[in-house]
Structure 1
């Protein structure tokens, strides 16, 4: 199924087209954005200007032609802060329908923040979160614990809105920013932001953010630090880096900022005010880092449609909105159970402390990915195919552990070379150890699958790890393959391993034991 979202925001109008699979997963295959700055077209009296309205409708006509040519029938069209605040919003929405055929829904503050939270949390799966979405017109903040929303707040602190305030004082965009004007803007932002008492969150709550400004400075931060992994989603950025970037860009003109490749002309005029909003939020609420999500409002709307195609067309969704997005996130973030045929093997490794909980979850994900990419023979191609996928609740370090574990199970030399390349992310010895343990488990599971055997029983008596297997054909049992997999387990786990192979059809048993830990 094809599904498209049109998002009419304060700064731009965006079109994203998705391919939705039968299992409910989806992936964007086309993205378009036109910087109409309709929020800047709001007059002093609160009306959308004719020029901004006309430019927006022209962009929507282009989107209509794209969707017609692509035969997209399912379209979600929403408008946020600029249209929501406009006194002539009803006429504007009517004009859009008359000239393009699109029926727009104007999202309330709550709807915008909840759907954005839904999209971000579904992709990061962090249960205790202070979430923010910095758009062009507003800053949406949501606090949730165990995937349940506790509080939300909407503030008129969008990046483009702050740019308008700053430009009223600073004047010509070609000039460099005046320090006293930036200080006054920062004071205005800090005064408008809530304090920790208003949200009453625990000290270990994770700050997660979305929005164009945050993605832009995350990309710029990676460029400045020569970050080896080209991936923004789940990137953790320190406040010191954000403040250094803010200070650096504040000393430049918009024309100079435009020349920075990772920022460009589309964000050059709004990135500095946006940086001040983000850094002020982090300082006032006591966060030293922020996790960047590349998914937000549009993905939340897609998830809502998949969950209930008729829900968004309802006249009154407010009473059940929170329960719906909470259900979507909690369902999507359920812990992946071990495959049933390996349950006893994996759970025993966990229960006796031979694998940690995070290592087990990475291993379970790795088993799925090996099956998904079984037809890729080149280990280098396999690595980059794995890296390009999206993973829930995996930091960049954990993502690399997953990918390198799979590569290590096939070609140790290539895995070691890649480990050296990403050493700045994989900086702890524990990551190397985890890769060895996970890859040895993958090798053993591969041996079980290739022999068409089943794991019947697993026990660790404190000295030896015992594995009982069942096989239909003893003569075709790949003894040497299992021996190699067993040696890998012994080396990585640091304990003796014993396995028994028994035929399902009779009582013939082969016992193989190795108590020499290498």
Structure 2
């Protein structure tokens, strides 16, 4: 099933995490195992004669965890183990001794990740999992904060700030309440000044994409506080005001009640406010209008780089959505999905509606229509009777790389389209997500999809092309060119032509032309 199993051990300043991935024949990687231990190695860093040293207690903690992870890897029959260390060990002047001792005791060879590699690995993961060309990225760990700027999906600036959630908590909140107002103000001013020194941050004016556990926690808390209707965090977008809301929730909650906040991890209770403050200050400094969550970060960036380096570069960052839909088809039993002609017919009708001035052409929308056509009502594998409902639920809640949540909703609405009633029913949980003109446009395209599938009913690919023309005002004719008999298609086309008439806002006549005759 998998051509290779690799394990990434992410030795951070706050947590040490083991993730085991399986790589299949299409170079898709699947997470097989994921566990973490909040080691907080940064707390074991001592200052001696002007140098930072990981003390003996910290080394023992590290060795114990790595020894345990090595055993787990053996149980999973892992082919390649990649132990990667970031800020805590990178900052240690005794890192050579640490590496030697770990190698001797556990058999594992730690690789130190440079600041540049750490920053660029996170950006690499984002540019290969999100359909965003220009953005700032932030990955705040326990002891460092990596920020990059990428343009046209290429990193053009990066900096590793020597502070993280654990060190900020230690420096500003030591012997103080977790929500001490003066400490919060001092921390904000410190971070604000740090960001102010970099013109490329101040001039960015692009989305801020956040990776790492603290960002996921903030977003998770916000989602649960508003009963967010869609599953998943990847591609979730927050505003600065919403970041302010989560900060106020944390600040207004006594520490002994923080564990009661739904969505907040118990090992981040004391560091979530420092993280939230950093996110707010970066959004403000960059004058950004969007704070986007990526569940793919340093580890996934390293795995992607490993695959591209060892498997002749099969994963590019220009086909993220197409790969996501392809993988969806691979993962789910979609054998009953219709022929390519239904996809071609949908795209052709959309193009002709735009040419007639009935719709405004949008490349992104055409792309979305094509994806929806290729998986149209695939939910029938669960129940033919409820194919629309199952399709909508899976599309709306499946983590599809390259799709922000709003686009995932649009895809779900198109791929599941059956009638106006269900369309409105699905949208009832997503009030305010779409403007009225967007709803109207999607409903029209849903009708196009339904009609296109109706005239390809028998899945034999008899339809060769369709041609839509205006006969007179609000009167149109659709020429349907076909080969051989299409009795079922004719019946279904006449039954569902109302969907096209809605798009045309006029009367439609169907004209079938047998090119075999």
Looking at structure 2, the residues matched to 398 and 214 of structure 1 have their Cα atoms a distance apart, in angstroms, of: 21
Instruction: Give the counterpart of 1:408 among 402, 414, 417.
Output: 417
Q: Secondary structure at the match of 1:329?
A: coil
1:112: Cα distance to partner?
0.8
1:491: Cα distance to partner?
1.5
2:434 is aligned with 1:432: no
1:10: Cα distance to partner?
1.0
Length-normalised TM-score, structure 1:
0.85
Instruction: Give the counterpart of 2:89 among 83, 88, 91.
Output: 83
Larger deviation: 454-463 or 135-144? 454-463
Larger deviation: 33-42 or 98-107? 98-107
Looking at structure 1, the residues matched to 468 and 198 of structure 2 have their Cα atoms a distance apart, in angstroms, of: 48
Instruction: Give the counterpart of 1:40 among 35, 40, 43.
Output: 43
Larger deviation: 456-465 or 220-229? 456-465
1:27: Cα distance to partner?
2.8
**Structure 1 equivalent of residue 492 of structure 2:** 481
Deviations 1:204-239 (A, max 9, x none): x22211121111111111222232223211111111
1:254: Cα distance to partner?
3.3
Map 1:142-181 → 2, pairs under 5 A = 142-168=148-174, 171=175, 175-181=177-183
**Structure 2 equivalent of residue 501 of structure 1:** 512
Question: Would the alpha carbon gap of residues 419 and 364 (structure 1) be closer, same or farther in structure 2, given more than 3 Å must change?
Answer: same
Larger deviation: 20-29 or 149-158? 20-29
Looking at structure 1, the residues matched to 104 and 512 of structure 2 have their Cα atoms a distance apart, in angstroms, of: 73
Conservation of the 8 A alpha-carbon contact between 2:417 and 2:450: no
Looking at structure 2, the residues matched to 225 and 413 of structure 1 have their Cα atoms a distance apart, in angstroms, of: 26
Conservation of the 8 A alpha-carbon contact between 1:141 and 1:153: yes
Map 1:103-502 → 2, pairs under 5 A = 103-168=109-174, 171=175, 175-194=177-196, 197-199=199-201, 201=203, 203=205, 205-309=206-310, 328-330=316-318, 332=320, 342=344, 344-352=348-356, 354=359, 356-370=362-376, 373-377=379-383, 378-379=386-387, 380-409=389-418, 412-426=420-434, 428-451=435-458, 452-461=460-469, 464=476, 466-474=478-486, 476-502=487-513
Conservation of the 8 A alpha-carbon contact between 2:321 and 2:400: no
Looking at structure 1, the residues matched to 297 and 354 of structure 2 have their Cα atoms a distance apart, in angstroms, of: 34
Question: Would the alpha carbon gap of residues 492 and 16 (structure 1) be closer, same or farther in structure 2, given more than 3 Å must change?
Answer: farther
Deviations 1:359-406 (A, max 9, x none): 322212212333865523234433332233222443322211221223
Length-normalised TM-score, structure 2:
0.85
RMSD: 2.9
1:77: Cα distance to partner?
2.3
Question: Would the alpha carbon gap of residues 445 and 74 (structure 1) be closer, same or farther in structure 2, given more than 3 Å must change?
Answer: farther
1:279: Cα distance to partner?
0.8
1:264: Cα distance to partner?
3.4
1:140: Cα distance to partner?
1.2
**Structure 2 equivalent of residue 58 of structure 1:** 64
1:414: Cα distance to partner?
3.8
Any stretches of 5+ residues in structure 2 without a counterpart? Answer: 327-338
1:158: Cα distance to partner?
1.4
Looking at structure 2, the residues matched to 358 and 497 of structure 1 have their Cα atoms a distance apart, in angstroms, of: 28
